[in-house]
Structure 1
Amino acid sequence: MTSTESLIGGDLRVRRLGFGAMHLPTDPDLARKNSLAVARRAVELGVNLIDTAYMYGGGANEELLAEALHPYSDELLITTKVGVARSGPDDEWRLDGRPAVLRDQVEQALRRLRVERIELLQLHRIDRETPLADQVGTLRELRDEGKIGRIGLSEVTVGELDQARRIVEIASVQNRYNLLDREHEPVLAACEAAGIAFLPWRPVAWGESGQRAEVAAVAAEVDATPTQLALAWLLGHSPVVLPIPGTARIDHLEENLAAENLHLSQAHRDRLDRLDRLGDAGSQGTTR
């Protein structure tokens, strides 16, 4: 039976199936009320790992979670990300890992989330125009000041992970990864070897039609939805994987969490594992 719990940073115990809050609408209307209900229902169902970021609405997503869930239970971990900002003459989102920007975004996240310390803070992307040592070093300073508990990275290579680990301990990596998109398998392997939590974003995505058919066939055999099948495969693929599927619907949330109870035989796993060797089914995503 696949374990339903895992540790982040060696000491933060979380349920392995978390929740990605990116898709929750934050506008002040009925959709926002639904978003609050979805976030609260996730916690009611035992989710204690929720992922957000400054980029999700320029902090609006963080404020939504605080409105829904504050004061937080001791077991709840809300992780957020910094390092993407609106800049330039067109005011578009761009990578921005300058130390002053990272510091300001962390301070603002503390205020919006209504906490004194962010237990897991992830660098949303590595800014190629700022030395990695400056970006990770700034987060290390904020950790030493008590404003961050643990540091994570997102969308990194094995080499970048190694470089960052020479500067500070890395507790998590958040890369794009799913049943049909395993480009970052080497990064996952590096995380598993080092005991680093791996939070796949876009944990459910479908590739070419033939591969979708195979997923549907296996799902029918185990009496599950394709989404549940994809999440169950992730949970059994590596003990450091902590999927964070997102949704704005309570029924989809409940469907996702039910994947913990799905048993896949070795024969089913072998069929799903082979999908990665049938061709490039991955899809390149925009910054998330």
Structure 2
Amino acid sequence: MNSVKKDLTFKLGNEIEINRLGYGGMQLTGFGVFGEVADRDNAKKVLQAALASGVNFIDTAEAYGPQFNESLIADALFPYNKDLIIATKGGFVRPGPNKWVPNGDPEFIRQNIEGSLDRLKTDTIDLWQLHRIDPKIPVDETLAPVVDAVKTGKIKFVGLSEVTIEQIELAEKVLPIVSVQNLYNLGNRQWENIVDYTAEREMAFIPWFPLASGPDKLAEKITKIAEKHKATTAQIALAWLLKRSSNILLIPGTKSIAHLQENMKAAEIELSEEEFAELSK
């Protein structure tokens, strides 16, 4: 597996330069990603600390809460820094904690977009992502309101989540796709082909669950390398992802400022080719 020289920025849509180490807002919600976050004041401080630490890419979704997370981000950060990019998603119904039901109905998608604009207090969503493709509805129908929103300037860029190459290509017949957000981390590399495919296409690849360090057989390797770098295992897992491909944008989430700052230090870790190869086995 190849590695790359570490550049810590990426041009989204070949246009907007963002720092590759961003922040994911999903944990700033109640149990099961449902309801309001327990300590709202702390959550706002974490978001503000993320920006102070150099984050200019924040990932959220209509489904986080649902809706509470987007409102929280606006509450904490509005008026926004000029260079801040906020990515959100639509296409999931949330009947309860840890319950996620794809809904690609065009009217539901349109409502998601309008709701996100309202909650985020913005006229334009920088990056809107389809949270899941609904198998019951043709993707061109699901994406029709997204096409309209792009035309009217309500959405700048469009991404997809948890998709195959075939699904990306199907969506691209409807409108340009600049990013893909699939499950991927050091311990779970089922989407290796998507990482390479998006890199070739100069699309962003945004791994969700980036901090999972995987099976126990990896633990010993990571611990050994972490000790050498005077780093935590989480920092090594993030450093590996940064080195894996230059189109990878990281969105580790946390409710703790100390943990946030620890994650940000991962950008300073330069794994050797040997260490990268060892971890990649």
Q: Is this contact kept in 2: 1:48–1:77, CA < 8 A?
A: yes
Aligned to 1:240: 247
Within 5 A, what are the aligned runs for 1:194-209?
Answer: 194-209=201-216
Indicate yes or no: 2:181 matched with 1:174.
yes
Aligned to 2:54: 46
CA distance in 2, matches of 1:59, 1:39: 16
Task: Provide structure 2 residue ranges, at least 5 long, that are not aligned to the other structure.
Answer: none
Pair 1:227–1:133, CA change in 2 (3 A): same
Alignment counterpart, residue 11 of structure 2, candidates 7, 27, 33 = 7
Amino acid at match of 1:81: K
Aligned to 2:162: 155
1:122-157 C-alpha deviation (Å, 9 max, x unpaired): 000001111011122331121112111110000001
Alignment counterpart, residue 55 of structure 1, candidates 39, 59, 63 = 63
The residue matched to 1:128 in structure 2 has which SS? Answer: coil
Aligned to 2:171: 164
Pair 1:259–1:29, CA change in 2 (3 A): closer
Q: How far apart are 1:206 and its partner, in Å?
A: 2.6
Aligned to 1:21: 25
Q: How far apart are 1:216 and its partner, in Å?
A: 1.1
CA distance in 1, matches of 2:186, 2:58: 21
Alignment counterpart, residue 40 of structure 2, candidates 28, 32, 44 = 32
Pair 1:30–1:108, CA change in 2 (3 A): closer
Q: Is this contact kept in 2: 1:140–1:168, CA < 8 A?
A: yes
Q: Is this contact kept in 1: 2:36–2:68, CA < 8 A?
A: no
Within 5 A, what are the aligned runs for 1:32-181?
Answer: 32-86=40-94, 93-181=100-188
CA distance in 1, matches of 2:182, 2:64: 17
The residue matched to 1:61 in structure 2 has which SS? Answer: helix
Q: List structure 1 segments (4+ residues) > 4 angstroms apart after TM superposition.
A: 26-30
TM-score (norm 2): 0.93
Aligned to 1:284: none
Pair 1:87–1:268, CA change in 2 (3 A): closer
TM-score (norm 1): 0.91
1:154-187 C-alpha deviation (Å, 9 max, x unpaired): 0001110111112211011100001111101111
The residue matched to 1:213 in structure 2 has which SS? Answer: helix
Within 5 A, what are the aligned runs for 1:205-220?
Answer: 205-220=212-227
Identity of aligned residues (%): 38
Q: Is this contact kept in 2: 1:25–1:32, CA < 8 A?
A: no
Aligned to 1:282: none
Aligned to 2:260: 253
Pair 1:127–1:13, CA change in 2 (3 A): same
Pair 1:248–1:87, CA change in 2 (3 A): closer
CA distance in 2, matches of 1:23, 1:87: 18
Q: Is this contact kept in 2: 1:4–1:17, CA < 8 A?
A: yes
Q: Is this contact kept in 2: 1:25–1:31, CA < 8 A?
A: no
Task: Provide structure 1 residue ranges, at least 5 long, that are not aligned to the other structure.
Answer: 275-288
Aligned to 1:285: none
CA distance in 1, matches of 2:20, 2:243: 11
